[in-house]
Structure formats: structure tokens, C-alpha cells
Amino acid sequence: MERTELRSVIEKQAVSYFEEGYNCCQSILLATNDAWNLEIDPMTISAGQFFRHGMGSGSTCGALIGAQMALGILNERYGTKLKIKTAHALYNEFVSALESTECKDLRNKQSFREKFGYKGCKMITLTTAGILCEFWENVHGQKK
């Protein structure tokens, strides 16, 4: 599957899971699981349940947390031996695209319409899934 096609699939899957009622963190994990056949344990998905709304406090965006968790799982699964600086690089990609990692900041930038039905959060989840896909394909491709 081509990179752009894979990105599109992961983004659509993340949105689909979000629409099913999973939160941003869980949606990222589930979409990643589907895309790379990671066989993520259901308990790991459940572990992401309290990362919605920045852990209920508006703190770190759950989508970013899900992406970091997925990156760790991908790293382990593929034995790429990525360093901690890789997590910082993913963090920087997220900030570059969305300008903040704080849920409260991201939500404050949303219009009333985007807040209604969590449409803005759905778009953040889609964006994060795309960022993770591109990021992983870049770092994994370099390690081959």
C-alpha cells in the first residue's frame, strides 16, 4: 500500500472509531492496530479511556498520548530500537501541525460548531493519525 493511501486509511479508521464512541487516544491506537496488524491487547485500548479531554483536566491531548503509545508499540513490534528523541520529534510534529499539545488550548481555538458533537476533536484525531502514519513511515523507512 502506498504511503498516501495508508495515511488515508488510518485517518478514516481513526475517525470511524471516534464516531463509534472511542476517545481520541483509543481511536489512534485502534486505527494503528488495524493498519499494521499489531494485535494490541484490548486492555491496552482500555488503558486509554481516561486520556480524553486532556485527562479530564484539559492537559495533554489524548490523541498525542495515543500516538506516542502507538509509536512505542510499533517500535517494539518492528524492533527498530528508536531512541527517546524520537518521541520528542513526534511531539514536535504534533505541535507544528496543531500549535499546542494542551487539550484546553486546542478546544479553545474551536468554534462553537466544532465543539458541538466533538467535531473539532474528531479533526484533531484525524490529523494526529496522519501525522503518526507519516512519522512512522519516515523513521521506520530509515531504519530498514
The whole-number pLDDT of residue 2 equals 80
pLDDT at 56 over 80: no
Cell of 108: 479553545
pLDDT at 129 over 90: yes
For 116-130, b/e burial (b = at least 16 CB within 10 A) is eebebbbbbbbbbbb
Q: Express as a percent the part of the chain with pLDDT over 70.
A: 97
Interval 7-14 mean pLDDT: 96
Is the distance from CB of 48 to CB of 24 less than 8 angstroms?
no
pLDDT digits (tens, 9 = 90+) for 58-81: 789 999 999 999 999 999 999 999
More confident residue, 144 or 30: 30
The pLDDT-based confidence of 104 (bands split at 50, 70, 90) is: confident
Q: Tell me the whole-structure pTM to 2 decimals.
A: 0.91
